[in-house]
C-alpha cells in the first residue's frame, strides 16, 4: 500500500466512542485528531498535535484523556475537554502503530514498528510516563492492535506480519499463547470480552476468529465474505480485509467492518449473521456502542458515517 497516494492522505485510521456515546474521536493520516458530536454528526474540535499520520486513538476511563499514536514516533496525551496537549511520550524510536489504556486508567501499552531493535511493545504509566516494561518484538514489524485484558493481567496483540494473535505476560514480556488461526491472513484487529475469557480477531482473508483466552484455542471461525481461496489475500483483493472487529452487548454480539464497505453483526453463540449494511465506501475504521445502538465508521477519504442500529 502506497501511503503517499493522494486518496490515502486523509484516511481515517481509528475511531473511539466516549463512554456516554455522545462523542467519537477519530485519528487520521492527515495528522489530525477530531472530536465529533454524535448527535449533530459535526466536528466539535480539530486537534493538531502530531507532525505525521495518527495511526491509533484511545480514550482513558471516564474520557478524561485522548491518547494518540503517530508516525512521528510519539504518543500524545490530550485533555478531552480542552484539547490541550498534556504530555508527549517519546520513548519509541520508530513509528508508533497502536496504543491502549488499562481498565483502571493507570497503564498504557504502545507498540512501535520498524526493523530490528526499534520494534517493541512498551508498557508505561499514564500519569508520569515512567516505562515499566519494554519488550522487543524482533522481526514482527507491524502490530496492528494492542489491548489490555480486564484487570491488566495480560496484554493481547494482533500482528499483520507474523499473522498471530499473541497473549503477553506484562510482567515478564513472555508470550503466554500464540493463536495463529490462518497463517496466511494478516491480523488487523482484536477485541477482548468484558470478562476476559474471549478474544475476537479479524484479518485480510475476510475471516473473524473467536478465541478462548484461558487455553489459547480457537472456538470458531466465520467469514465476513464468501471467499475464493484462489485469490485470498489483500494484495489480490483488498475488499476482503476486515479492519475492525468488536464485541458488544456483553460479548453476545460481534461487529465486523470491511474495506468493501460492509458492516456486519453476528451472534456470538450461534455464529448467525444478524444484521448487515453496505455503505459502498472503502471503510478503514469502525466502532460500536456497547448497547449496539450506535455505529460509527470512517473511510479512506476522511469521511465519517453515523448509523443507528436496533440491537
Low-confidence ranges of the chain (pLDDT < 70): 1-8, 114-117, 138-143, 152-187, 224-240, 311
Q: State residue 199's pLDDT score.
A: 85
Q: Is residue 266 included in any domain, yes or no?
A: yes
Q: State residue 216's pLDDT score.
A: 72
The four Cα atoms 98, 103, 106, 107 give a dihedral, to 10 degrees, of -30
Q: State residue 306's pLDDT score.
A: 98
Number of H helices and E strands in the chain, helices first, is 0, 27
Q: Is residue 19 included in any domain, yes or no?
A: yes
Q: Is residue 1 included in any domain, yes or no?
A: no
Bin 230: left if φ > 0, else alpha if -120 < ψ < 50, else beta: alpha
Q: State residue 222's pLDDT score.
A: 77
Count of domains for the chain: 1
The pTM is what?
0.87
Instruction: Please report, for residues 81, 119, 153, 155, the alpha-carbon distance to residue 138 in angstroms, rounded to integers and kept in the order given.
Output: 38, 6, 23, 17
Q: In terms of residues, how long is the chain? A: 311
Q: State residue 237's pLDDT score.
A: 47
Q: State residue 207's pLDDT score.
A: 79
Q: State residue 183's pLDDT score.
A: 45
pLDDT in tens, 108-119: 999 888 665 678
Q: Is residue 277 included in any domain, yes or no?
A: yes
Question: In this structure, what CATH number is given to the domain that contains residue 111?
Answer: 2.130.10.10
Q: Is residue 121 included in any domain, yes or no?
A: yes
Bin 129: left if φ > 0, else alpha if -120 < ψ < 50, else beta: left
Range of the domain at 79: 6-308
Q: State residue 304's pLDDT score.
A: 97
Q: Is residue 11 included in any domain, yes or no?
A: yes
* DSSP-derived pairing of the beta strands 262-267 and 273-278: antiparallel
Q: Is residue 59 included in any domain, yes or no?
A: yes
Q: How far apart are CA 25 and CA 16, in angstroms?
A: 5
**Residue labelled with grid coordinates 502530531:** 50
Amino acid at each position: 500500500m502506497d501511503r503517499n497516494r493522494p486518496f490515502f492522505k486523509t484516511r481515517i485510521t481509528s475511531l473511539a466512542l466516549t463512554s456516554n456515546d455522545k462523542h467519537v474521536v477519530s485519528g487520521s493520516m492527515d495528522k489530525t485528531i477530531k472530536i465529533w458530536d454524535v448527535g449533530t454528526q459535526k466536528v466539535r474540535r480539530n486537534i493538531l498535535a502530531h507532525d505525521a499520520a495518527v495511526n491509533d486513538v484511545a480514550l482513558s476511563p471516564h474520557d478524561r484523556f485522548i491518547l494518540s499514536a503517530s508516525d512521528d514516533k510519539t504518543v500524545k496525551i490530550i485533555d478531552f475537554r480542552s484539547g490541550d496537549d498534556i504530555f508527549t511520550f517519546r520513548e519509541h524510536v520508530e513509528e508508533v502503530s497502536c496504543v491502549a489504556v488499562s481498565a483502571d486508567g493507570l497503564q498504557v501499552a504502545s507498540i512501535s514498528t520498524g526493523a530490528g531493535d526499534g520494534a517493541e511493545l512498551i508498557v508505561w504509566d499514564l500519569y508520569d510516563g515512567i516505562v515499566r516494561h519494554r519488550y522487543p518484538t524482533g522481526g514482527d514489524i507491524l502490530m496492528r492492535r494492542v489491548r489490555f485484558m480486564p484487570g491488566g493481567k495480560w496484554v493481547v496483540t494482533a500482528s499483520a506480519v507474523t499473522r498471530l494473535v499473541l497473549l503477553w505476560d506484562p510482567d515478564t514480556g513472555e508470550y503466554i499463547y500464540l493463536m495463529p488461526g490462518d497463517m496466511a491472513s494478516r491480523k488487523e484487529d482484536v477485541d477482548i470480552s468484558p470478562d476476559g475469557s474471549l478474544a475476537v480477531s479479524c484479518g485480510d482473508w475476510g475471516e473473524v476468529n473467536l478465541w478462548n483466552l484461558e487455553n489459547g484455542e480457537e472456538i470458531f471461525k466465520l467469514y465476513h465474505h464468501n471467499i475464493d481461496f484462489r485469490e485470498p489475500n489483500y494484495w489480490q483483493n483488498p475488499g476482503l480485509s476486515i479492519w475492525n472487529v468488536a464485541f458488544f452487548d456483553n460479548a453476545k454480539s460481534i461487529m465486523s467492518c470491511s474495506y468493501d464497505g460492509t458492516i456486519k453483526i453476528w451472534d456470538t453463540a450461534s455464529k448467525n449473521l444478524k444484521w448487515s449494511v453496505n455503505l459502498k465506501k472503502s471503510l478503514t475504521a469502525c466502532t460500536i456502542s456497547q448497547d449496539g445502538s450506535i455505529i460509527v465508521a470512517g473511510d479512506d477519504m476522511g469521511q465519517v458515517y453515523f448509523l443507528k442500529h436496533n440491537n
